[in-house]
Amino acid sequence: MTPVVAVIAAGAMGSAVGRRLVENGVTVLTSLAGRSAATEQRARAAGMTPVADEALAAADILLSILPPAEAEGLAERLSALFATAPAKPLFVDCNAICPDTVLRIGAVVAASGTPFLDAGIIGPPPTAGGKGPSFYVSGPDAARLLSLAPFGLEIRPMDGPLGAASALKMSYAGITKGLTALAAAMMLAATRAGAADALRQELAASQPQLLAWFTRQLPSMYPKAYRWVAEMEEIAAFVGADPAARTMFEGAAALYERLAEDFRAEQRETGALSGFLGQ
């Protein structure tokens, strides 16, 4: 039986996930309420079906895939609608948020009588012919999301409680996006100090794998930096019991905030980073 799936929103990840499901015969609903023209275009290009928010209740499964700062607002808005709906979808929060935020969202969703699961997406958006990211899932009956596995998504139920999937996502993103922040900070510092060429040459000689990783990861960071600000703040909250780590991620959030602003405006620092990497 092919489920009806709602994917909100049709951002870079959401639209690619939507397209993958559509290609596998799934009807994919989405909401365009409050979204940009670019999002609407991505949704239509992916074959997703825009509907009024009220109609989302008719989906079997709803995947919330948003910039992390918007996750809680969407859950509150839809829960208010679903509370009086005759049928309710399985609400799966797939956002890069810390377990405490997941539990808060889960409580709001559950209060409307809507079943809730926590998911963490690891890996880049699905591409044509490519494998696509892993959806780690946690919570009571996490295996329910395996119903999407036949439709082109990699679903990995976890044993842990609600929040375990987000804990994994936070830990993983803390390493990868934290490293991207560190590398950007030090390339910029080296450039300011006139040591950029020497640093690139020394990395090429003694850390070629790291330099190759930076060369792949940094250029794709610039347009995503604005989303990563809230993600770094969620990771800072996730490591809250460790004040030293929290400070590191508060710094990373501030760095991405500046780089996002730079990318939007004059592109001086992102230009310097591209220059460092010869791109």
Residues near its own copies (CB under 8 A): 99, 122-123, 134, 136, 158, 160, 163-164, 167-168, 170-172, 174-176, 178-179, 181-183, 185-190, 192-195, 198-199, 202-203, 206-207, 209-210, 213, 238-239, 241-255, 257-258
Q: Which is nearer to its own copies, 219 or 251 (CB)?
A: 251
Asked if 18 and 75 touch (Cβ cutoff 8 Å), the reply is no
Q: Which is nearer to its own copies, 56 or 187 (CB)?
A: 187
| Helices 243-264/164-192 angle, 10° precision | 60
Sole residue written with tokens 């036949």? 150
User: What span, in angstroms and rounded, lies between the C-alpha atoms of 26 and 7?
Assistant: 11
Q: Which is nearer to its own copies, 146 or 185 (CB)?
A: 185
Asked if 148 and 27 touch (Cβ cutoff 8 Å), the reply is no
Residue 72: phi, psi to the nearest 5? -70, -40
Please report how many Cα atoms fall inside a 13 Å half-sphere around the Cα of residue 205, on the Cβ side: 6
Asked if 118 and 164 touch (Cβ cutoff 8 Å), the reply is yes
Sole residue written with tokens 């994919």? 28
* Least Cβ distance, residue 62 to its own copies (angstroms): 24
Q: Which two tokens stand for residue 157?
A: 């139920």
Q: Which two tokens stand for residue 200?
A: 């690139």
Q: Which is nearer to its own copies, 27 or 267 (CB)?
A: 267
Q: Which is nearer to its own copies, 41 or 207 (CB)?
A: 207
User: What span, in angstroms and rounded, lies between the C-alpha atoms of 69 and 225?
Assistant: 13
* Least Cβ distance, residue 170 to its own copies (angstroms): 7
Q: At a CB cut-off of 8 Å and minimum separation 6, what does 150 contact? A: 24
Q: Which is nearer to its own copies, 52 or 193 (CB)?
A: 193
* Least Cβ distance, residue 105 to its own copies (angstroms): 17
* Least Cβ distance, residue 150 to its own copies (angstroms): 22
Asked if 24 and 151 touch (Cβ cutoff 8 Å), the reply is yes
* Least Cβ distance, residue 114 to its own copies (angstroms): 25
User: What span, in angstroms and rounded, lies between the C-alpha atoms of 69 and 25?
Assistant: 31
Q: Which is nearer to its own copies, 57 or 183 (CB)?
A: 183
* Least Cβ distance, residue 18 to its own copies (angstroms): 23
Asked if 157 and 143 touch (Cβ cutoff 8 Å), the reply is yes
* Least Cβ distance, residue 220 to its own copies (angstroms): 15
